[in-house]
Amino acid sequence: MKKLSLLLFGCLMAPAAWADGPTIIDVTIKKIGMVWRVDVTLEHGDTGWDHYADGWEVLDANGNRLAHRELMHPHVNEQPFTRALSGVVFPDGTREVFVRAKCSVDGWSGEKTRVELKP
């Protein structure tokens, strides 16, 4: 009976475990006047409210957060998907930034995407 319980538990928990962390497919950053617009395309095996890509952030070269976009719901049937953040202000002299994604189960990805800023 103990083996059957463990097997059933494993089957019930497996779908959330199958989803890897979010992958950044593309990042576009454009200057609009004095501020920037950041568009990030993510792909993630969202399974529903229990496990989904729930944000991304823009960091400077020292790891300081410059911008953050929270994703408020799963995108189970919309993969990959793009979300934007407008009105971002980067410190003068910033020439590159790094974008990383987060999911509701695994937290922040260790993988960062480098983006060179073109004024």
Q: Domains in the chain, start-ordered, CATH in brackets? A: 2-116 (2.60.40.150)
The confidence band for 16, taking pLDDT boundaries of 50, 70 and 90, is very low
Measured over the CA atoms of residue 58, residue 68, residue 43 and residue 53, the dihedral's sign is: positive
Q: What's the whole-model pTM score?
A: 0.81
pLDDT at position 55, please?
A: 95
Q: What share of the chain is helix, strand, coil (3-state, %, to 5)?
A: 15, 45, 40
Which is more confidently placed, 10 or 49? 49
CA dist., res. 32 & res. 108, Å (int): 28
Express each pLDDT in 96-108 by its tens digit. 999 999 999 999 9
Q: Say which amino acid occupies 109.
A: S
Scanning the structure block, which residue is given the tokens 């719901």? Answer: 73
Express each pLDDT in 63-75 by its tens digit. 999 999 999 998 8
SS3 18: helix
pLDDT at position 21, please?
A: 85
